[in-house]
């Protein structure tokens, strides 16, 4: 005896997902009005991999020590520019982050035809610091042309742009805006854009519902927010003016307004909104 039933279309190449009629309706509406992020003129990338964080990611105290060891004002200025603030996944919250006063020594490997490789010999105070870890940094797999350099990173310049950042493993999606010059530590991903509407949509219940439907939830309810999942979220490229008017750190009342705006953008009915608001994760 059949008490409940639902028809699902498994004719495509995507993974099979069994959805109720209301879930199917919500999914169709999301996909009907939006363009997947992967088809926008933006790229989702992972943060920096150093190969040995103990050497390349330092505290504010260690940064100040390195700067104090510079032989003159010129070296100090160049060294200060090379040491950039960095966020870890655990630092990133929904609509904000708690910077742990950590810095990355950005001895990058350059970008062919655009940016020369950092020569550590021009930064004696940094070289002296890294030499303390020579046994480790010289044997690591993730390194550049020399053990002092970070691995090749074609999108190195994106760290100098405004960006949306998030933790790789989370109970719920939590996206934040990070300013120009702020680095992100892998495996946390980031999206270089100044489009604040994208930030608000990513933090919405609709986005989290859709993205989590694409992968498998781990024990404890944790989900891995990989670029391969986030980039498939359909987001409208027009009609986002209202969302762009909200700040990058909205108030609780504004967050409710944003959620309502997102429901309207995707054309959800009152019944579908009620389902989204009351569904169990």
Short-list 29, 35, 27, CA closest to 240:
35
Q: Where are the beta strands (DSSP E) in the chain?
A: 35-36, 44-46, 57-59, 83-87, 92-93, 96-97, 102-105, 163-166, 169-170, 175-178, 183-184, 189-192, 223-224, 234-235
3-state secondary structure of 229: helix
Q: Each residue of 121-134: pLDDT tens digit?
A: 999 999 999 999 99
Output the pLDDT for position 184. Answer: 97
pLDDT, residue 113, reads 81
Per-residue pLDDT tens digits for 242-272:
999 999 999 999 999 999 999 999 999 999 9
Q: Express each pLDDT in 196-219 by its tens digit.
A: 999 999 999 999 999 999 988 888
pLDDT score, position 176: 98
pLDDT value of residue 42: 86
Distance CA 12, CA 242 (A): 35
Q: Cβ distance 95 to 109 under 8 Å?
A: no
**What pLDDT does residue 281 have?**
62
> Is the distance from CB of 234 to CB of 36 less than 8 angstroms?
yes
Residues of the chain with pLDDT under 70: 1-19, 281
| Integer CA distances (angstroms), 229 to 89, 205, 236, in order | 17, 15, 17
Provide DSSP, 122-156: G-HHHHHHHHTTHHHHTT-SS--SSTTSPPP-TTG
pTM over 0.85: yes
Q: Are 99 and 91 in contact (CB under 8 A)?
A: yes
What are the tokens at 247?
Answer: 């700040």
In the chain, where the domains are located: 21-41+195-278, 50-150
Residue 18 confidence (pLDDT): 59
Return the SS3 of 196.
helix
CA distance 252 to 232: 28
Q: Which two tokens stand for residue 18?
A: 């069994």
Q: What's residue 234's pLDDT?
A: 96
How far apart, in whole angstroms, are the C-alpha atoms of residue 214 and residue 122? Answer: 48
């Amino acid at each position: 005896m059949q008490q409940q039933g639902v028809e699902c279309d498994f004719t495509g190449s995507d993974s099979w997902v069994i959805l109720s009629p209301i879930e199917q309706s919500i999914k169709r509406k999301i996909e009907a009005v939006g363009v997947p992020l992967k088809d926008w003129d933006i790229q989702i990338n992972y943060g920096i991999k150093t190969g040995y964080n103990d050497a390349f990611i330092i505290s504010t105290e260690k940064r100040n020590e390195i700067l104090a060891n510079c032989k003159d004002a010129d070296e100090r200025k160049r060294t200060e520019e090379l040491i950039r603030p960095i966020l870890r996944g655990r630092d990133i919250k929904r609509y904000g982050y708690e910077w742990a006063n950590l810095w990355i020594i950005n001895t990058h490997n350059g970008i062919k035809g655009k940016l020369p490789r950092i020569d550590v010999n021009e930064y004696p105070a940094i070289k002296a610091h890294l030499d303390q870890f020579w046994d480790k940094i010289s044997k690591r797999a993730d390194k550049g042309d020399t053990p002092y350099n970070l691995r090749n990173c074609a999108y190195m310049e994106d760290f100098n742009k405004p960006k949306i950042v998030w933790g790789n493993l989370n109970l719920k999606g939590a996206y934040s805006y990070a300013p120009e010059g702020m680095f992100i530590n892998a495996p946390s991903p980031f999206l270089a854009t100044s489009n604040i509407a994208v930030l608000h949509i990513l933090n919405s219940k609709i986005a989290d519902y859709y993205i989590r439907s694409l992968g498998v939830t781990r024990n404890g309810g944790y989900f891995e927010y990989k670029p391969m999942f986030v980039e498939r979220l359909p987001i409208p490229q027009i009609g986002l003016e209202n969302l762009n008017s909200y700040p990058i750190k909205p108030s609780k009342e504004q967050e409710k307004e944003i959620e309502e705006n997102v429901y309207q953008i995707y054309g959800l009915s009152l019944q579908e909104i009620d389902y989204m608001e009351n569904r169990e994760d």
